[in-house]
Amino acid sequence: MVQQLQLLFTKLYHSVQRHFLWWMCGVLAIFYLVVFLVQPVGVQGVVVGSPSPVDVRASRSLTYNSDLRTNEIRDRIMSDTTQVSVEDRNKLTRLQVELESLLDTISSVRAQYTIVSTRRTAIDELDTDKDVELIPPVVAQRLASMSDSEWRGLSVEIKSIYSGILQERNRRIETSDVDAIRQNLPNLISPGRAVEDRTIIERFITPYIQSTVTIDKEGTKRRIEEALAAVKPVEVQIAQGESIVRNGDVVTPLSYEKMMMLGIIRTETNWLAVTGHIVLAYGLAYLLGLMLRTGDEPTSRTNKKLYAILLLIVVTIVMTRLFAMIDPMLVAAAPLVLLCMLLTIVVSIRTASLLTINVGIVVLIISNGSLLTGLPPLLIALVAGSMVHQARRSADFMVAGGVATITGAVSTLSVALVTQSSFEGSATWPVMVAASAGGLIWALLSLSLYSLVGKLSGITTPFELLELANPEQPILRRLVTEASATYSHSVTVGILAERAAEAIGANSLLLKVGAYYHDIGKIKRPYFFTENQTDGVNLHDTVTPHESAKIIIDHVRDGIKMANDVGLPPIITNFIATHHGTSVLNLFYRKALEQDPNTDVADFTYPGPKPTSREQAILMLADGVEATVRSKSGSGALKNDYVSVSEGIAAIVDQIFNERIKEEQLSDTALTMSEIKHVRMAFIKALEGLYHSRVDYKANGKQRTSEPKVEAQGHI
């Protein structure tokens, strides 16, 4: 039973982990509904289980049918554990016949087979159809090898002992007697019996000692139903002037019921409102799930992010409800600003804004539909969140706090002018102060919680990225010292990637930092990579194509290992793993095919995985484009093979893009064709600035008559 429960909980746990987004939405829907339906302290502050703030006496005499007392009786009946039992007087007779039949069958087998081994096999198979193994191999061997007289004596004693037990118990055994009879069984066996024969006797008799009394579930159910049907409503009498509850006494369920029946407390339920709340709660929770499911990033597959989102939403709503209980005016200071600003760490600004609107509707319901107190927090939150979604300095939060203060004042005043027939300053100024102060306080508090929320959700914050971008980072210093050309390449890739990210609204800072670290694996064997070969010697000429491919491919594996060793965040390590995807080293593969047509292409394929985000896709494209343009620029092909440098750059960019798309390297990302076009244009403009033609002038300042000299700008 314990193992089954453990298995059930394990399956449930894995189910929750696999579908946590929708489990979270279900929990959130229930939470929303509770917030909607559970109101602050009710009429006159009288609450069951709490001290009464007033003395309550009956204003009139009353006799009523008490549901409370009636249900107490029904509950006692339901909790009665007495079971209806049924006795089967013929059960032991059937068991006796079955036991004797088994013994007679063994006798027949012994008579049929004379060879001990054959006899043992036949006896061993007699109990294959039984739930209990009566005749294990050891017992079968003993039964097959004993003499006929030994067997007859053993068989007779088994039948005699079992028959004696039945006669002594008058063929009736209670459930409580089963264990006692089985424990006394050794005392009924002849003292002179060998130990192994005594064991056989006990083994044969024990399973046939069973209780003749069983529980009748249907009878028990009928008894309970009949008892419940016989329950009559309990009358409760209240005398005029009777004390129902005294000031300071704990309010009991019965006293509360009496107050309801006397009309002192009214608890009429508006079922239409309840229905509306249920629809709203589940509708908002479902919409929230869709927002996360279809967001710009695979949030639904990252449970740490969802935990952080759930925590932020719950804290926001609970604090808003507490504010409403203190003073409805304080709903204007709801921490929606904190929610939106911190959500921008976990998800994109678009998804964060949608989630804030979703929770903003809940805040509006908590404010009982008051636009004056419910709408300004939402407007403040959306404005402040949009200002910090790419914050890189603490000052950005300070500025957002100031703007939130102004937005709070302006939005509150605007809503008041729209909703009030005549401006009421006494009702508006306190709300305006609450909204403005709340916006400022929550904006500044979000700065304090920024890094903490990032840690909880497994996110690398912009502040951490800026720190990683510092060239003084040990691994970057090694890259500069041991593979300086690779570092220059990484910086240039970062420039391209950053420009492209800005063009499509991707995370430019993340891309820049990812570019800095994507090739750190080359530190291990820097001179096997073209950009670091300054003396004209190509080390790949000294090794086989397979060895060359392994060295090149290993820079990805080495980079991942180095990243893990220095504790780089996974989001940066993923750039190292995906910047070549599953592409093939065609140059070395073709060389290998010339030597051996049966060469396996897998030996020349990067391990991947393919990029899974827009940022990873941009880095892959930027890496390929920059390397190719740099190579052609260094060889002079960029100038000589094309009409112009600009045309050459455009052709190279198109070639790399087409290759990656043809190889389906971008198939797992969310990049659209429109975004790819914007990325292409951003690359071309950036590369034209880096590799433009420079005209060489004579010392006297006159232009050379020969062809202008083209120099690669910004790259080694």
Write the pLDDT tens digit of every residue in 132-146.
Answer: 677 888 888 888 888
Beta strands in 263-377 (DSSP E): none
Distance CA 386, CA 222 (A): 66
Tokens read off for 520: 């750190």
Instruction: Give Cβ neighbours of residue 397 (< 8 Å, ≥ 6 apart).
Output: 341, 388, 391, 443, 444, 446, 447, 450
Most confident of the following: 36-45, 253-262, 434-443: 434-443
Phi, psi angles (nearest 5°) of residue 30: -65, -40
Quote the DSSP letter at residue 468: H
Residue 716's pLDDT is 31
Report helix angle 20-37 to 349-366, nearest 10: 30
Task: Give the confidence band of 697 by pLDDT, cuts at 50, 70, 90.
Answer: very low
Most confident of the following: 52-61, 199-208, 269-278, 695-704: 199-208
Choose among 496, 580, 486: nearest CA to 530: 486
Domain boundaries, the chain: 20-37+270-431, 48-81+230-261, 88-211, 470-690
Distance CA 53, CA 249 (A): 9
Task: Report the b/e string of 196-209 with b at 16+ CB within 10 A.
Answer: ebbbbbbbbbebbb
Q: What is the mean pLDDT of residues 467-473?
A: 90
Instruction: Give Cβ neighbours of residue 252 (< 8 Å, ≥ 6 apart).
Output: 48, 245
By the 8 A CB rule, do 659 and 701 touch? no
What percent of the chain clears pLDDT 70, i.e. is strictly above it? Answer: 86
Residue 43's pLDDT is 41
> Helix, strand, coil: what percent of the chain each, to 5?
70, 5, 30
* Cβ atoms within 10 Å, residue 371: 13
Task: Give the confidence band of 81 by pLDDT, cuts at 50, 70, 90.
Answer: low
Fold classified for 470-690: Hypothetical protein af1432 (1.10.3210)
- Residues making up the chain, counted from first to last: 716
Task: Give the confidence band of 11 by pLDDT, cuts at 50, 70, 90.
Answer: low
In this predicted structure, the answer to whether residue 10 has a pLDDT above a threshold of 50 is yes
Tokens read off for 152: 């007859």
Residue 653's pLDDT is 93
In this predicted structure, the answer to whether residue 18 has a pLDDT above a threshold of 90 is no
Task: Report the b/e string of 258-283 with b at 16+ CB within 10 A.
Answer: bbebbebbeeeeeeeeeeebeebbbe
Distance CA 74, CA 81 (A): 14
* Cβ atoms within 10 Å, residue 426: 6
Q: What is the pLDDT of residues 490-523, one digit of tens each?
A: 999 999 999 999 999 888 989 999 999 999 999 9
Task: Report the b/e string of 77-90 with b at 16+ CB within 10 A.
Answer: eeeeeeeeeeeeee
Q: What is the mean pLDDT of residues 219-235?
A: 84
Q: What is the pLDDT of residues 641-668, one digit of tens each?
A: 788 888 889 999 999 999 999 999 999 8
Which amino acid is located at 468 in the chain?
A: L
Residue 703's pLDDT is 41
CA atoms within 13 A on the CB side of 297: 20
Residue 264's pLDDT is 63
Q: pTM to 2 decimals?
A: 0.54
Mean residue pLDDT across the chain: 82
Residue 654's pLDDT is 93
Residue 270's pLDDT is 63
Which stretches of 146-270 are DSSP H helices?
148-168, 178-188, 195-205, 217-229, 253-261
Q: What is the mean pLDDT of residues 479-483?
A: 91
Q: What is the mean pLDDT of residues 409-420?
A: 86
In this predicted structure, the answer to whether residue 541 has a pLDDT above a threshold of 80 is no
In this predicted structure, the answer to whether residue 225 has a pLDDT above a threshold of 50 is yes
Angle, CA 370 vertex, CA 368 and CA 375 arms, to 5°: 120
Distance of CA 459 to the CA centre of its chain: 15
Q: Is 58 helix (H, G, I), strand (E, B) or coil?
A: coil
Say which residue the tokens 């991707």 belong to.
Answer: 506
Residue 166's pLDDT is 87
Residue 573's pLDDT is 94
Task: Give the confidence band of 711 by pLDDT, cuts at 50, 70, 90.
Answer: very low
In this predicted structure, the answer to whether residue 6 has a pLDDT above a threshold of 70 is no
Q: What is the mean pLDDT of residues 580-601?
A: 89
**β-pair type (213-215, 56-57):** unpaired
Q: What is the mean pLDDT of residues 585-602?
A: 89
Phi, psi angles (nearest 5°) of residue 238: -120, 125
Task: Give the confidence band of 229 by pLDDT, cuts at 50, 70, 90.
Answer: confident
In this predicted structure, the answer to whether residue 191 has a pLDDT above a threshold of 50 is yes
What percent of the chain clears pLDDT 90, i.e. is strictly above it? Answer: 25
